[in-house]
Structure 1
Amino acid sequence: MTRKLDLRTGRPVWYAYRAPSVPAGKLTRDIKTDVAIIGMGISGAMMAEALTEAGHSVVCIDRRGPLLGSTSATTALVQFEIDQPLSLLSRQIGKQKAERAWRRSRLAVMNIKARIDELGIRCNTQTKQSLYLAGDALDAAALRAEAEARRLAGIHATYLAPSALREKFGMERDGAILSHDNLALDPRKLTAGLFRKARERKARFYAPVEATAVKSSRNEVVVATADGPTITASHVVLATGYELVADLVPASGHKIISTWAIATRPQKQKLWPDEAFIWEASDPYLYMRATADGRVICGGEDEDFIDEARRDALIAGKSDRISQKLKRLLPQLDTTPEFAWAGSFGTTATGLPFIGKLPRHPRIHAVMGYGGNGITYSRIAAEIVSAAISGGIDCDADLFGFRR
């Protein structure tokens, strides 16, 4: 049913830290539930927590197991800044819709933080500033215009001239935008914590279980599995990440690319001021953050192809290039990689995800959190889809739907 991908290769840095276990059983008989979620990564976890909180019975399955897909490959810069700058997105979809998308993204980050605090999930959450550096995609003048667009949309942003950037962060660039209240966290710990909360509310987890077909009718959806048992649900949520459900999800408007990342040894004393997220307006772009124990995670060098063998063969070379770029920007760091990995990554032309009911299948909902804001978009999806399943309408559903 899905296009199977090797979603990551190498050893992501998150395996240096222990995450709570998520027990999953064997599916040995036909079962029924209110909602069946296919996929047990961060999107599936946020959906399971939101739906069980709303009182729905939930079953989650995954063909690998919990936390074994692309979630572990994320660098987990949980920020509201959409890949497509507000000034550019406004030209693509109109100023009003672009501002709504940016404000909703900001609200989602706030809601993630509030939910983590409310549930008491320990995932090394830290509130961070974000520094967007001038590059070959947006120069200093374009960054000034971007900061003004955000200000007019009610999103606080400060433009830093080269002298201010040098004084505050010790970096030599033509300018930057400084923003606030983004999140650094451990994605495996967050995902496990959300699943465990859903399990406390009687959610059922089965893995490894491969869904082979999803058939919807007027009143229900039936999920067939490779080993025989079926799952009958009132609704199904496809949280399969970048492994598309080829016969259901529209193929246009999105694509899969390859990305690489490294992580250094812990070096807390050598980090930059405030350990702000850093990313640059360049193509290919570079982005970085620090972990709670002082490692530097740095990624980028994305390329527009999907061949996993070719992607994996480039890990060593891409790691060296990322390390060298990091050294040029922050020469005080030891940029030698202790961890290096590659992954598959989804993009859209606007940087906005696809979320909502599938065309002609109103009981099947897809969560395609594409772009560099995957965890942020997972939260938006949990809000939009849980509202739809509960009989409501999210006011921003039209921004992310398949018919937009």
Structure 2
Amino acid sequence: MPERLDLRSGQPVWSAHGMPGIPAAALDGDHEADVAIVGGGVSGALVADAILQAGLSVIAIDRRDFGRGSSAASTALLATEIDRPLIQLTDEIGEARAARAYWRSAAAVDHLRTRIRDLGLRPKFRDRLSVYLPGTTLGLKDLRRECEARLRIGLRSRFVDSVALHDLTSIDAAGAIVSAGNAEADPLRLVGGLWRSAGRRGAALHAPVEATEVQETRSGIVIATAGGPEIRARFAVFATGYELMPFIPPAAHDINSTWAIATAPQPDRLWRSRALVWDASDPYFYARTTADGRVVAGGKDEPFADEDKRDALIGSKSAAIARRVAALWPAIDPTPDYRWTGSFGESRSGLPTIGRIPGMRRGFAILGFGGNGFTFSAMAAQLIPRAILGIPDPDEAIFAFP
């Protein structure tokens, strides 16, 4: 069974009115389905939605409860951009593959947008520009090169000077990349809405249920659970984040701690465009707004040591993030109304690992590590059902396990 970790602490602003109610029953006997999904976060929810669209039956389990893990700590900047700049990714994996990775990320945000509309979900989804500021990873000169590289492959990015940047964001800086096609949402509303929709459409949701052993047979997957019942499925998808089952090889990644704050509502003080803002630094700072006029900001990441050390730093890290908000936007009151911390996996390549588990024919895993995990989850919802149905995908190899 995977190692159990305390994924988050503090109170994310999204949970101010309680956690989402996602009906899930006890697993009171053996069950069968076309596809079993282990993991009740956003990755599992989006894959379940796509598999149901394909006309297959779904059973999903979670060791805690649906929507109670890392998804609740997300700040849900739904970015088309990947943590690794395009010019760096090109040097690492080649121009064609880097271009495809960026375009696949853009398509994933479009997938999210479409499914939210088609399912009638109300996760406070808003289309947003993104603003990429110079930082320690890319200075102004390299930021111009990055924009030129994006324009060459047809992405909707443009470089703006200090005047245009200030008009959009009220930030005083020499310039930035502005990109279209991004969005924001309330992550709890999104995950809760997806799972409730899946349940209404026939998916069997069970929690708390812990998978203890997985065996592949000639005709499918058998999942033993801590309570005794077994789940039999033709295929299984493991969407457990970095709490990996022992048979899933870890991708090249680090486990980091991150911290975030949300200010009090102050809609009259926010920047005009409400764009998503982040900088080209490592670790990077990021900020967005909410529907009720708050600023959500985060960063100051560092390698994960243990839950106690991470939690003890909430105060000092929150203060540092608030100071960064005040420096960028002097008119905004940066005092945190909410403070929280979480742990997450960060891919060393900047790309997720999504696909068939090495040594298995019917088992798939999603290691959507990185700052835009919701986008990578939507990518998984496009890749994995195609693999289950035997439909080739031109980008499968880019995200496959090594």
Q: TM-score range by the shorter chain?
A: over 0.9
Contact 2:46 2:194 survives alignment (8 Å): yes
Deviation at 1:20? Answer: 5.0
C-alpha separation in 1, matches of 2:44 and 2:251: 23
Pairwise CA distance, 1:284: 2.6
On the 8 A contact 2:251/2:353 being kept in 1, the answer is no
Cross-structure match for 2:173: 173
One-letter amino acid of the counterpart of residue 281, structure 1: A
Q: Check the 8 A contact 1:306/1:344 in 2, yes or no.
A: no
Could you tell me which amino acid in structure 2 is paired with residue 212 of structure 1? T
Aligned match of 1:257: 256
Distance in structure 2 (CA, Å) of the matches to 1:133 and 1:366: 34
Partner residue in 1 for 2:54:
54
Amino acid at match of 2:69: G
- TM-superposed CA distance for 1:368, in Å, is 1.0
Would you say the 8 A contact 1:139–1:174 is kept in 2? Answer: no
> Which residue in 2 is equivalent to 1:276?
275
Summarize the Cα distance change of 1:168–1:252 in structure 2 as closer, same or farther, 3 Å threshold. closer
**CA–CA separation in structure 2 for the residues paired with 1:273 and 1:187:** 23
* TM-score normalised by structure 2 residue count: 0.98
CA RMSD in angstroms comes to 1.2
Instruction: Look up the equivalent residue of 2:336 and give its one-letter code.
Output: P
Q: Contact (CA 8 Å) 1:384, 1:393: kept in 2 or not?
A: no
Match of 2:27 in 1: 27
1:319-368 Cα distance to aligned partner (Å, 9 max, x none): 00000111101111111111111101111121100100000012110011
Shift of 1:168: 3.8
Match of 1:332, SS state, is coil
Give matches, 1:4-403, under 5 Å. 4-17=4-17, 20-245=20-245, 247-403=246-402
CA contact (8 A) 2:251 2:347 kept: no
C-alpha spacing 1:173/1:234, structure 2 compared with 1 (3 Å): same
Structure 1: distance between partners of 2:60 and 2:77: 26
AA partner of residue 283 (structure 2) = P
Q: In 2, distance between residues paired with 1:261 and 1:208?
A: 28
Q: C-alpha separation between the residues in 1 aligned to 2:240 and 2:389?
A: 22
Change (3 A) 1:93 1:381: same
Deviation at 1:196, TM superposition (A): 1.7
Tell me, in whole angstroms, the C-alpha distance in 2 between the residues paired with 1:218 and 1:78: 39
Equivalent residue letter for 1:221: I
Instruction: State the identity as a percent.
Output: 47
Aligned residue type for 1:227: G
Deviations 1:235-290 (A, max 9, x none): 11001012111x21113412211111000111111101111000011223110000
Asked whether the 8 Å contact 1:254–1:347 carries over to 2, the reply is: yes
- Show structure 1 runs of 5+ residues with no match: none
Q: What amino acid maps onto 2:25 in structure 1?
A: G
TM-score (norm 1): 0.97
The code of the aligned residue for 1:307 comes to D
User: Which ranges in structure 2 are unaligned for 5 or more consecutive residues?
Assistant: none
Letter in 2 for 1:394: D
CA contact (8 A) 1:383 1:394 kept: no
Q: Structure 2: how far apart are the matches of 1:346 and 1:396?
A: 22
SS of equivalent residue, structure 1 residue 274: coil
What displacement does 1:74 show?
A: 0.3
TM-superposed CA distance for 1:158, in Å, is 0.9
Taking the aligned partners of 1:66 and 1:110, their CA distance within structure 2 comes to 24
Q: How far apart in 1 are the matches of 2:162 and 2:384? A: 43
- Across the two proteins, how many residue pairs are aligned to each other? 402
2:361 match: secondary structure: strand
Cα deviation, 1:287-342, whole Å, max 9, x if unaligned, reads 00001011110000000224111111111110000001111011111111111111
* DSSP-derived class of the 2:68 partner: coil
Q: Structure 1 residue 163: deviation in Å?
A: 3.4
> Aligned in 2, Cα 1:74/1:168: closer, same or farther, shift over 3 Å?
closer
After TM superposition, give the deviation of residue 19 of structure 1 in Å.
Answer: 6.3
Distance in 2 between residues matched to 1:314 and 1:18, nearest whole Å: 24
Q: Secondary structure at the match of 2:240?
A: coil
Q: Deviations over 1:174-223 (max 9, x none)?
A: 32100112111111111111112211221101100011111112211111
What CA distance in whole angstroms lies between the structure 1 residues aligned with 2:231 and 2:282? 44
Is the partner of 2:47 in helix, strand or coil? helix
Deviation readout 1:358-395 (Å, 9 max, x if unpaired): 00012110011111110110011011111111121222
